[in-house]
Amino acid sequence: MTPQGIPQAPITFYHTSANCSGERYLWNNGGLFAFLGQYLGGTVFYTTLADWSFPPLPQTLNSQEVVNVGSDPMGLGVCTPKAMGKQSVGKAIAVTDPVLNAMVAPFRLK
């Protein structure tokens, strides 16, 4: 958290299709205890797959999609066809709350 609110950065999603259609996947955080979460435009994206054994997705990944800051995080980002083989990823889950964009310092809990 910064005085300007929650930091935002581009998010990279992975897809089994070559044109970034279908399910979005995120890297599974290397199997660490904490789940990977990324924030962009009032939406938090995360995956619940955090397995110490790094299980790869049964299907191969064939494209990556980058959604940049200032873009609609629910819309299609910049798609690049890219054969990546089987990787350790989990299904991306999105949680949107417009209040997140309005948060600025000083932060107060009631």
Each of the 110 residues of the chain gets a pLDDT tens digit; together they read 666 667 788 999 999 999 999 999 988 755 555 566 788 888 888 887 655 555 667 789 999 999 999 899 999 999 999 999 888 888 898 988 777 666 666 666 56
**pTM beyond 0.85:** no
Q: Which residues make Cβ contacts (< 8 Å) with residue 22, sequence separation at least 6?
A: 15, 16
**Predicted local distance difference test score (pLDDT) of residue 86:** 85
Q: Where are the domains of the chain?
A: 11-97
pLDDT averaged over every residue in the chain? 81
**Predicted local distance difference test score (pLDDT) of residue 54:** 59
Rounded distance, CA 37 to CA 29, Å? 9
Q: Print the SS3 string covering the chain.
A: CECCECCCCCEEEEECCCCCCCCCEEECHHHCCCCCEEEECCEEEECCCCCCCCCCCCCCEEEEEEECCCCCCCCCCEEEEEEEECCCEEECEEEECCHHHHCCCCCCCC
